[in-house]
Structure 1
Amino acid sequence: MSAESRFIVSPDWVAERLRTPGFAVIDASWYLPAHNRDGKAEYAAGHIPGAVFFDQDEIADKTTGLPHSLPSPEFFAAEMGRRGISDRHTIVVYDGPGFFSAPRVWWMLRIMGASDVYVLNGGFDGWKADGHPVEAELPKPETVSFSPQFAGHRVTTFNAMRDIIASGSRQIADARGAGRFEAAEPEPRPGMRAGHMPGARNLPATAFSKDGRFLSNAELKALFDEAGIDLNGSVVTSCGSGVTAAIITLALESLGHQNNSLYDGSWSEWGSRDDTAIVTGKA
């Protein structure tokens, strides 16, 4: 097993490649109200030179009634193309702190057909701390073609999730904090029940990085072992609204695990219904 994730790149690695043909950078910063941060406003005030902004609330399927649902491949491809990003580009995604919302866009790009996609270690906060350049000028990319090749099997729907729980056929890894998972803390969205899906294991998203930097592969494996996740089996990742679940997906893929999917509706869907099974307390 390699020491570090093959999907994580350093600020120096990115700085060496800025403005080179076929290289693209995406600011995917998105925050919960409790963070008191505005990703779009921060991007406008300063970003990695040449980076384009990915608004996770806008590049979404707004017909579901759920937050930032996965958009159709055609819509996603059009939005990427308008931002000058092709499925053939080498793409680096970042957010403010390092590993909160960026892995979601990393995951989206990959299931839509881009293969050469990475996440910036340390995020934009680390980029600035290392003294790398920042610009406020908004880029004006030329439109290119993004040819989507949607890997639908990497997305779990509500009906599939219900079948998985009924049969116990797949492992479930929940990225929410322990308080929400155990129903010791209320959900941040009104009208939503607290607890977790039967059989789910808790792997809080915050455990996968330290000071904005992703853990080593050995440390990642230890997290899965401690949570009782068998890496030889299939895994569905989930969270509050489908964003931080991708951090678990990133960790799984970093360890070479490919038999995984992400429950896009996550707890926003499961916990808001009155016909779904919910468990409280520890797994």
Structure 2
Amino acid sequence: MNFPLVTTDWLADNLTRKDLVLLDASMVTVIGREPIVYDRPVFIPGARKFDLEGDFCDLSSPMVHAFPTEEQFTREARKLGINADSTVIIYDNQGVYSSPRAWWMFQAMGHENTFVVDGGLPKWLAEKRETVSSLVQEQAESGNIRGVFHSGMVCDSSCLLKELEAVRVAAVDARSSERFFGTAPEPREGVRSGHIPGSRNLPFSQVLDEHTFKSAEQLKAVFARTLPVDSERTVFSCGSGITACIILMAAVIAGYKNNVLYDGSWADWGSNPSLPVTTSE
């Protein structure tokens, strides 16, 4: 797997490349941090909307923010003009929030030539780079990308239950410590407080320096404190599968392999009374 990040300098130098497709994966709903609110629409030039809450979400699934089907991903990605040989660059308007989710979606669908802009729109604006007031709305030609879903990169609750029985599998939760230990209520109605027994807490803010990721060396130290020394496979979760991808990407930056996203995350696990919950260490 490629190193997942590009810098704003790199993007500025490559913005007009014909093979480059720039996607804005910003979300309307931001949970787990104070959202950056903009008083007017502002985008990096040439960006196309990557709709994580609609077009690229399986709305027929009972899970919140469910991964799209292979057919859905292919159809919607082609509408954005993405080809099999496109270099896909993703950013969001919170710095690093929802763009890693879109990145992992491309990875799981077999398009590895996909990267996230470290720092996203806030860093781009801080550097006083050019912006526009609207996204690119339509593509003259449909793309030819074809998603091929790699099911081992995403799991559900039944898969996770089996995973946790394996000695060298670790589960890491990106929610705040208050939500993890059940001292703060869950934002979604009907979802229990607490966490998956045996999982470890790594709030996603701990892998970031404000709007950007910490260095690879810093992240190696973070995960050395978080993961068991003998873990060979890591399952990442959060509230609904969005911010889990932040710490999953941080693990990739730190050099960890065999990473899996629990797509339904706590919204799925915590709402299922048949699944065990704990608030203790």
TM norm. shorter chain > 0.5:
yes
Matched, 1:149 2:148: yes
Identify the match of residue 74 of structure 1 among 42, 66, 71.
Answer: 71
Q: Report sequence identity in percent.
A: 33
What's the CA shift for 1:33? Answer: 6.0
Please show how residues 174-213 of structure 1 align to structure 2 within 5 Å.
174-213=173-212
Runs of 4 or more off by more than 3 Å in structure 1? 33-39, 165-169, 228-232
Q: What are the within-5 Å matches in structure 2 for residues 1-283 of structure 1?
A: 6-30=3-27, 31-32=29-30, 45-58=41-54, 59-139=56-136, 140-141=138-139, 142-166=141-165, 170-230=169-229, 233-281=232-280, 283=281
Q: Does the 8 Å contact 1:87/1:113 carry over to 2?
A: no
> Structure 2 vs 1, CA of residues 155 and 208 (structure 1 numbering), >3 Å: closer, same or farther?
same
Maintained 8 Å contact 1:201/1:229:
no
Is the CA contact 1:88–1:115 (under 8 Å) kept in the aligned structure 2? no
* Alpha carbons of structure 1 residues 197 and 35: separation in structure 2 relative to 1, 3 Å: closer
* Root-mean-square deviation over aligned CA pairs: 2.1
Alignment-mate amino acid for residue 261 of structure 1: V
Please give the alpha-carbon distance, in whole angstroms, between the structure 2 residues aligned to 1:149 and 1:43. 39
Deviations 1:40-91 (A, max 9, x none): xx69822111111111111211122221100111111111110112232111
Is the 2:237–2:262 Cα contact (8 Å) retained in structure 1? yes
Instruction: Return the alpha-carbon distance in structure 2 between the equivalents of residues 249 and 178 of structure 1.
Output: 18
Distance 1:232 1:226 in 2: 12
**Amino acid across the alignment from 2:52:** Q
Q: How many residues are aligned here?
A: 276
CA distance in 1, matches of 2:102, 2:230: 23
**2:252 is paired with a residue of what secondary structure?**
helix
Per-residue CA deviation, residues 106-133 of structure 1 (Å, 9 max, x unaligned), is 1001111111111111110111110111
Residues of 2 paired with 1:34 and 1:266: CA distance? Answer: 14
Q: In the TM superposition, what is the alpha-carbon distance from 1:257 to its structure 2 partner?
A: 2.1
Q: 2:39, 2:48 → 1: CA distance?
A: 9
- The amino acid across from 1:262 in the alignment is L
Q: Which amino acid aligns with 2:116?
A: V
Amino acid at match of 2:53: D
Q: Encode CA deviations 1:238-280: one digit per residue, 9 max, x unaligned.
A: 1100001111211122233221211101001000011110110
Partner SS state of residue 52, structure 2: coil
